[in-house]
């Protein structure tokens, strides 16, 4: 996509309250080095209506995304996010090394990736890159438009990365709710350094639940053991008490019964 076209669209958006546009480059890398890279442009309804009222076709903006792919073939993508409608293209790759030239072409309007390395090993992945953009000054190329007016509320450009495995370190500007890392691209000039590392040791959350489960099981076993031991101690205490205080032998009632019978017979005889 050409910088002039995007800046022109952003300039138009500034004239209307609540207009917004957003460009995203999203890279998703799997543990085997394969993945996808997507380029999308999002606009809200006010932005599209305003462009249409000036005789511009919003689809022309989406078409610019394909120009950054070069010879790579992409699949059209669309999604909705709140009041924003996103359209773009997505390219699949078998090896992350294959996308370096594609990303260089797509980000070239912002100065291009000066360096771009993505290493995937058996144990993890490391991503490092540098992207620079020339300083933008009001002038004939921008029609006197002041680029400092391009705030995040109006227009933003982001590089979004989904690392394989579990992220262990990064310098991203934002961690999205789904765990992806996001860096703001330097629209007004400057340089951004990207860094992220991950490992394939498994997520920490399942291990946490395993540990909690083991702790709960140990606790249940301890309670059961305490109850059983308590009952045994109770019984032992009763047995000990019985041994300490033996009961008197039961009185034989047969002699008394015999004597009563004898007395009865004697009385009858009389």
227-259 residue pLDDT tens:
676 666 666 666 666 666 655 555 555 555 555
Does some domain include residue 74? yes
Domain boundary among 142, 174, 202: 202
**Taking the model in full, what pTM does it have?**
0.64
> Are residue 94 and residue 218 in the same domain, yes or no?
no
Residue 107 — pLDDT band, cuts 50, 70, 90? Answer: very low
Q: Is the dihedral of CA 239, 243, 247, 250 positive or negative?
A: positive
Sign, CA dihedral 71-73-180-44, equals positive
Token digits for 44? 């809200």
Asked if residue 254 is part of any domain, the answer here is no
What is the number of domains present in the chain?
A: 2
Residues 91 and 197 in one domain: yes
In a shared domain, residues 27 and 89: yes
pLDDT in tens, 44-102: 888 888 777 767 676 776 665 555 555 556 788 889 988 888 988 898 999 988 877 66
Residue 8 maps to a domain: yes
Kindly state whether residue 268 falls inside one of the protein's structural domains: no
Task: Note whether residue 270 is domain-resident.
Answer: no
The answer to the question of residue 258 being in a domain is: no
Domain of residue 196: give its range: 3-202
Same domain? 125 vs 192: yes
pLDDT in tens, 209-226: 566 667 777 777 777 766
Question: In percent, how much of the chain has pLDDT > 90?
Answer: 24
Q: Are residues 67 and 128 located together in one domain of the fold?
A: yes
């Amino acid at each position: 996509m050409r910088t002039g076209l995007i800046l022109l669209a952003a300039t138009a958006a500034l004239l209307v309250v609540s207009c917004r546009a957003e460009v995203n480059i999203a890279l998703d890398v799997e543990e085997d080095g394969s993945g996808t890279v997507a380029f999308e442009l999002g606009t809200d309804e006010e932005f599209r209506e305003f462009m249409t009222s000036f005789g511009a076709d919003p689809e022309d903006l989406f078409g610019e995304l394909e120009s950054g792919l070069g010879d790579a073939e992409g699949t059209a993508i669309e999604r909705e996010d709140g009041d924003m409608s996103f359209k773009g293209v997505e390219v699949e790759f078998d090896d992350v090394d294959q996308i370096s030239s594609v990303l260089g072409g797509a980000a070239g309007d912002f100065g291009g990736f000066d360096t771009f390395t993505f290493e995937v090993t058996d144990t993890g992945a490391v991503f490092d890159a540098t992207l620079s953009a020339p300083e933008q000054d009001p002038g004939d190329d921008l029609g006197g438009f002041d680029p400092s007016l391009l705030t995040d509320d109006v227009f933003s450009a982001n590089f979004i990365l989904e690392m394989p495995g579990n992220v262990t370190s990064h310098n991203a500007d934002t961690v999205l709710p789904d765990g992806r890392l996001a860096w703001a691209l330097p629209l007004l000039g400057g340089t951004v350094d990207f860094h992220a590392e991950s490992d394939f040791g498994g997520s920490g959350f399942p291990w946490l639940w395993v540990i909690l489960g083991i702790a709960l099981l140990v606790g249940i076993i301890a309670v059961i053991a305490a109850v059983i031991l308590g009952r045994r101690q109770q019984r032992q205490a009763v047995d000990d008490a019985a041994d300490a205080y033996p009961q008197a032998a039961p009185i034989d009632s047969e002699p008394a019964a015999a004597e009563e019978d004898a007395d009865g017979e004697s009385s009858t005889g009389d």
